[in-house]
């Protein structure tokens, strides 16, 4: 049963010639690209809010463990920005417009922007751990939904997800010290 795979190259070649303007989006793309673009635009919003929150916390943190916590937040912030850029590039590849509109970022993001008091390092760590856990769950669900219908977007999300899990683990280590 496993060797009945026949690749109909003639059909694929004909399909590829149609809708050339769609670039990388071909007939074998297995999901509604508009829906994927919307989801990725919410990922961009989520990552931008995470960047804002980590940056704010890194700058305002005070107290005895300030340096270590601020360094970790700054590193995470840089990675969140990269995640937003990677999601935006994928939106563009899919023929969409990346949405960085600040007017709607907070509403579209899966996580919240928070402002704990500067000396509440533990509270800051907890807010960021909660955000990472929300991001991990939502990206896992997107990955499961995409399944094998858009492997490139799925792998992008999987690669980002791996870093979000590292972020959660880093924060857990800091909370433990």
CA-based nearest residue to 147, from 163, 161, 158, 138: 158
Phi, psi of 30 (to 5 degrees): -95, 15
Instruction: Map residues 136-175 to x or -, x wherever contact with Fe ion holds by CB under 5 A.
Output: ----------------------------x--x--------
Give yes or no for residue 42 binding Fe ion (CB under 5 A).
Answer: no
Burial 51-61 (b: 16+ CB within 10 A, else e): bbbbbbbbebb
Per CB under 5 A, contacts with Fe ion among 16-35 are: none
What part of residues 63-92 is at the interface with Fe ion (CB under 5 A)? 80, 83
164 is in an annotated binding site: yes
CA distance 92 to 115: 33
Q: Which is nearer to Fe ion, 74 or 119 (CB)?
A: 74
Chain contacts with Fe ion (rule: CB under 5 A):
47, 80, 83, 164, 167
């Amino acid at each position: 049963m496993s060797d009945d795979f026949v690749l109909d190259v003639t059909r694929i070649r004909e399909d590829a010639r149609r809708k050339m303007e769609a670039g990388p989006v071909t007939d074998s793309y297995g999901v509604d690209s508009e829906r994927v673009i919307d989801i990725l635009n919410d990922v961009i919003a989520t990552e931008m809010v995470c960047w804002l929150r980590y940056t704010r916390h890194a700058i305002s943190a005070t107290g005895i463990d300030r340096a270590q916590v601020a360094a970790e937040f700054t590193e995470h912030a840089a990675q969140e920005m990269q995640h937003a850029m990677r999601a935006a590039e994928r939106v563009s590849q899919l023929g969409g417009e990346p949405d960085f509109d600040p007017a709607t970022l907070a509403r579209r993001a899966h996580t919240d922007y928070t402002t704990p008091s500067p000396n509440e390092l533990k509270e800051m760590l907890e807010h960021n751990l909660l955000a990472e856990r929300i991001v991990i769950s939502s990206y896992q669900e997107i990955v499961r939904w995409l399944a094998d219908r858009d492997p490139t977007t799925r792998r992008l999300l999987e690669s980002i997800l791996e870093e979000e899990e590292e972020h959660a683990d880093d924060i857990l280590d800091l909370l433990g010290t």
